[in-house]
């Protein structure tokens, strides 16, 4: 069991730890709203030469950075360890050797300081990231979680009650960006590189498939990626910029169409886009436009809170505390942890 | 009263935690299941403290195996030790994994500690053990079983202990003067880690670095950096 039921509580100062992929992050959150500090140590430069995240390289970097970052976060927040009221930590999904380090540190802190330990699902963290900056998020919320590892549409009716409306059957959207970038020789990370090239290109130059556009909230991006690779072999290939623009347009079309359909079906009062790919400006603009037309407020986290960070983990932990959940010191790392409702 | 030390090891298939004061082990707990390292390591230490009636807050330092060993286990032990030291405001004492293993053979002029390093290799080093502890005779390094057999021949044999010795016993036991201890002796005891730690200089927890003996790029290229 990853959680025990206890009397609901409301930790004043909550420490957040995140180490599920290639970012180590430590945050201190006050009263669930005030982010005293949110430090993120990114490994993007380390993995660039390999063209993707190498787990062993990632884990070594997490281990080096984690404890110094914790010290720096406390210093910057003007907090002592003894002032903390709870520790929230990502315990999955992610690279098991990386998740485990955050969990090891968190359970040691919680055990020695005698404060609650709260295991948080990484995706749950993304879901709550929007609440850190917006106090007017009305429920139900329909959130598109889109990153290098995940593509899901999730409905939240009350805090802790989630329903996954659909997810990808193969590649995540961010993964498709990375693979296309690699095939085009644009380097890593693929998202920003493709976006930059797309800005110079013409999205109507090449019509690429919009996979499963009519099929509910399920996604599939591997066919689209293959269509790009097949086009690269054709004699009348378009320029790299046009190809990137056409590819990005197809991905954005699918993401926006499905999110808005889900929002209408759930009678959502707010829409949000979270996760690393939410930093893509084409997606942001198109989603804004679509939400305005549909008359549903869009409340996405700002760029810095879209990518992996510990503030969102602390916020999710605060919500779980208010639902009366805490984790035992035997909490484990769960590399394939699914997002499931807490109530 | 002598100083209270915690010992931690999870660099192999087994995990072990202990509390040691002076030359006595107050409590020790462990298990054989590499997948349960994270789950039990810290809770078992809390349990050791309550069973022996001491407070973890009174620890003078935390001794931990700092490698070589399984990369994931090594990091888990180090992050746990570092975080404990950070909270308690105490130092850490890194102990070489092969030295901790050699402690399983109390009095011997030549103990060869050999861990299974996967990828057809062992991490090994040679020690002399006595009542005073463990004296290192060679540095830690990676060997193929055949290379280790050659080295053993040049050292004139010895007592072999550890998962690497067990796994490659068909090759290693052919060397004259070699005796291989059974698997139960291949399990590192955290009490030995703490006792060995008493002889190590205390370190700031952030200065503790693991001994991997292998580049992170092995994952990309296969055997050997």
Q: In this structure, are B117 and B175 located in the same domain?
A: yes
Torsion of CA B215, B216, B220, B222, to 10 degrees: 40
| Whether residues B138 and B30 fall in one domain | no
pLDDT band at B223 (very low <50, low <70, confident <90, very high): very low
Same domain, residue pair B118 and B200: no
Write down the pLDDT at residue B200: 94
ipTM of the complex: 0.95
Instruction: Judge if B191 and B93 occupy the same domain.
Output: yes
Q: pLDDT category, B13, cuts 50, 70, 90?
A: very high
B126 has which bridge partners?
Answer: B112
**Site of tokens 């054989």:** B32
Name, of A36-50, A101-115, A217-231, the range with top average pLDDT: A101-115
Mean pLDDT, chain B, rounded, equals: 94
Task: Decide if B83 and A108 are in contact by the 8 Å CB cutoff.
Answer: yes
Considering the domain architecture, whether residues B167 and B206 belong to the same structural domain is answered as no
Residues B113 and B169 placed together within one structural domain of the fold: yes
CB–CB contact A105 B41 (8 Å): no
**In this complex, do A81 and B87 lie within 8 Å of one another by their Cβ atoms?**
yes
Angle at A308 between CA A305 and CA A314, to 5 degrees: 75
Q: Would you say B209 and B66 are in contact if contact means Cβ atoms under 8 Å apart?
A: yes
Q: pLDDT confidence of A212, banded at 50, 70, 90?
A: confident
> Which A residues 52-71 touch B at CB under 8 Å?
54-57, 59-60, 62-63, 66-68, 70-71
Nearest CB among B76, B82, B84 relative to A112 is that of B84
Say how many CA atoms lie within 13 Å of A338 toward its Cβ: 7
CA A43, distance to chain mean position in Å, is 16
Q: Which residue has the tokens 């996954």?
A: A164
Closest alpha carbon to A153 in A272, A267, A248: A272
Give residue B219's pLDDT.
Answer: 63
Question: pLDDT at residue A1 above 90?
Answer: no
Mean pLDDT of A316-341: 97
Q: Which domains does chain A have, with CATH numbers?
A: 4-130+305-326 (3.30.420.40), 138-300 (3.30.420.40)
Q: Is B56 on the interface with A (CB under 8 A)?
A: yes
Predicted confidence band at B222 (pLDDT cuts at 50, 70, 90)?
very low
Q: A131 by DSSP, 3-state: which?
A: helix
Token pair, residue A178, equals 């990375």
Same domain, yes or no: B207 and B173: no
Rounded mean pLDDT of A338-342?
94
Q: What is the DSSP string of A171-182?
A: --HHHHHHHHHH
Q: Give the CA distances from residue A326 to residues A83, A116, A317, A331, B180, in Å, rounded to whole numbers and listed in that order.
A: 19, 6, 9, 10, 47
Looking at the structure of chain B, the number of domains it has is: 2
Distances, alpha carbon A110 to alpha carbons A14, A77, A81, in Å: 11, 19, 10
- B87 and B195 housed in the same domain: yes
CB contact under 8 A, B83 and A331: no
For B200, the domain range is 4-97+187-221
> What is the C-alpha to C-alpha distance for residues A9 and A30, in angstroms, rounded to an integer?
14
The pLDDT score that the predictor gives to residue B218 is 66
Q: List CB contacts of A75: < 8 A, sequence separation 6 or more.
A: none
Q: Is the dihedral of CA B42, B45, B46, B47 positive or negative?
A: positive
pLDDT at position B224 = 38
**Co-location of B80 and B125 in the same domain:** no
Residue A145 has pLDDT above 90, yes or no: yes
Q: In chain B, which residue's Cα lies nearest the Cα of A84?
A: B87
Q: Considering CB atoms only, which of B42, B218, B219 is closest to A108?
A: B42
Helix (H) or strand (E) holding B32: strand B24-32
Q: Is residue A305 scored above 90 in pLDDT? A: yes
Do residue B180 and residue B113 come from a single domain?
yes
Mean pLDDT over residues B139-161, rounded? 96
**Closest approach of A269 to chain B, Cα-based (Å):** 41
- Which comes out higher in pLDDT, residue A69 or B133? A69
pLDDT at B217: 74
CB B30 within 8 A of CB B14: yes
| pLDDT of amino acid B221 | 57
CA atoms within 13 A on the CB side of B121: 18
- The tokens for A188 are 């890593």
The CA distance from A56 to the nearest CA of chain B, in Å, is 6
- Which pLDDT score, from 0 to 100, does residue B225 have? 33
- Is residue A273 left, alpha or beta, with left meaning phi > 0 and alpha meaning psi from -120 to 50? beta
CB A74 within 8 A of CB A17: no
- Residues B87, A330: C-beta atoms closer than 8 Å: no
CATH of the domain at B202: 3.30.420.40
User: pLDDT, tens digit, for every residue of A68-123?
Assistant: 999 999 999 999 999 999 999 999 999 999 999 999 999 999 999 999 999 999 99
Same-domain pairing of B127 and B163: yes
- What's residue B34's pLDDT? 76
Residue-level pLDDT at B220: 65
CB A125 within 8 A of CB A94: no
Shared domain for B182 and B206, answered yes or no, is: no
Pick A113's closest partner by Cβ from B39, B87, B218.
B87
Residues in chain B closer than 8 A to A83 (CB atoms): none
Which residues of chain A make contact with B33, given a CB cutoff of 8 A?
none
Between the alpha carbon of residue B62 and those of residues B5, B81, B129, B212, the distances in Å are: 6, 6, 23, 20
- Say what angle helices B37-52 and A96-113 make with each other, to 10 degrees: 20
What's the whole-number average pLDDT of chain A?
Answer: 96
Q: Is the pLDDT of residue A250 over 60?
A: yes
Say if B33 is an interface residue toward chain A (CB within 8 Å). Answer: no
| Residue with the two structure tokens 């999710």 | A316
Buried b (16+ CB within 10 A) or exposed e, A50-89: eeebbbbbbbbbbbbbbbbbbeebbeebebebeebbbbbb
DSSP string, A284-295: HHHHHHHHHHHT
Cβ-contact A102, A314 below 8 angstroms: no
pLDDT for res B216: 85
| Positive/negative CA dihedral, A188, A194, A196, A197 | positive
**A24 φ/ψ angles, rounded to the nearest 5 degrees:** -100, 130
- Chain B partners of A109 at a C-beta cutoff of 8 Å? 83, 87
DSSP result, A145-211: EESSS-EEEEEEEETTEEEEEEEBSS--HHHHHHHHHHHTT--SSHHHHHHHHHHHS-TTSS----T
Contacts with A, B 97-136, CB within 8 Å: none
Worst-scoring range by mean pLDDT, A209-223, A230-244, B211-225?
A: B211-225
User: Nearest Cα to A153, choosing from A165, A163, A161?
Assistant: A165
Q: State the average pLDDT over residues A198-211.
A: 94
- Minimal Cα–Cα distance from B210 to chain A, Å? 9
């Amino acid at each position: 069991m990853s959680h025990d039921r206890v009397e609901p509580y409301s930790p004043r100062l909550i420490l957040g730890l995140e180490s599920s992929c290639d970012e180590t992050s430590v945050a201190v959150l006050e009263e669930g709203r005030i982010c005293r500090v949110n430090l993120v140590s990114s490994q993007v430069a380390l993995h660039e030469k390999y063209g993707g995240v190498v787990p062993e390289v990632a884990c070594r970097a997490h281990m080096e950075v984690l404890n110094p970052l914790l010290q720096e976060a406390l210093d910057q927040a003007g907090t002592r360890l003894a002032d903390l009221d709870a520790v929230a930590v990502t315990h999955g999904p992610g690279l098991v050797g990386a998740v485990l380090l955050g969990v090891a540190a968190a359970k040691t802190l919680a055990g020695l300081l005698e404060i609650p330990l709260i295991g948080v699902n990484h995706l749950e963290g993304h879901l709550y990231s929007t609440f850190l900056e917006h106090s007017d998020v009305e429920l139900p919320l329909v959130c598109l979680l889109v990153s290098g590892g995940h593509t899901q549409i999730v409905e939240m009716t009350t805090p802790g009650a989630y329903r996954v409306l659909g997810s990808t059957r193969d590649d995540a959207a961010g993964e498709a960006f990375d693979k296309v970038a690699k095939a085009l020789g644009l380097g890593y990370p693929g998202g920003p590189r493709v976006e930059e090239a797309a800005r110079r290109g013409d999205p109507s130059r090449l019509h690429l498939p919009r996979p499963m556009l009519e099929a509910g909230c399920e996604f599939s991006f591997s066919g689209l990626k293959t269509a790009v690779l097949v086009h690269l072999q054709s004699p009348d290939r378009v320029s790299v910029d046009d190809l990137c623009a056409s590819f990005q347009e197809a991905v954005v079309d699918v993401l926006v169409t499905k999110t808005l359909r889900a929002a209408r079906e759930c009678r959502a009062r707010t829409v949000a886009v979270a996760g690393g790919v939410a930093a893509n400006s084409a997606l942001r603009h198109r989603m804004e436009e679509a939400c305005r037309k549909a008359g549903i407020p869009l409340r996405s986290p700002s760029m810095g809170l879209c990518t992996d960070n510990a503030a969102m983990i602390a916020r999710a932990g605060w919500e779980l505390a208010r639902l009366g959940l805490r984790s035992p010191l035997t909490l484990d790392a769960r590399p394939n942890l699914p997002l499931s409702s807490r109530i | 009263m002598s100083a209270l030390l915690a010992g931690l090891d999870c660099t192999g298939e087994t995990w072990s935690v202990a509390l040691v004061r002076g030359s006595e082990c107050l409590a020790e707990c462990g298990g054989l299941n590499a997948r349960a390292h994270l789950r039990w390591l810290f809770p078992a230490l809390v349990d050791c403290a309550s069973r022996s009636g001491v407070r973890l807050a009174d620890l003078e330092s935390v001794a931990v195996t700092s490698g070589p060993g399984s990369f994931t286990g090594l990091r888990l032990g180090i992050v746990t030790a570092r975080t404990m030291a950070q909270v308690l405001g105490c130092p850490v004492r890194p102990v070489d994994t092969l030295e901790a293993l050699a402690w399983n053979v109390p009095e011997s002029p030549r103990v060869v500690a050999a861990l299974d390093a996967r990828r057809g290799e062992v991490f090994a080093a040679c020690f002399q053990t006595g009542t005073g502890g463990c004296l290192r005779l060679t540095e830690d390094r990676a060997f193929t079983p055949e290379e280790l057999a050659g080295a053993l021949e040049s050292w004139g044999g010895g007592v072999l202990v550890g998962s690497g010795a067990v796994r490659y016993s068909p090759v290693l036991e052919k060397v004259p003067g070699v005796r291989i201890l059974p698997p139960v002796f291949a399990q590192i005891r955290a009490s030995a880690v703490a006792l060995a730690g008493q002889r190590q200089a205390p370190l700031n927890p952030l200065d503790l670095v693991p001994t991997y003996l292998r580049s992170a790029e092995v994952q990309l290229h296969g055997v050997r950096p």
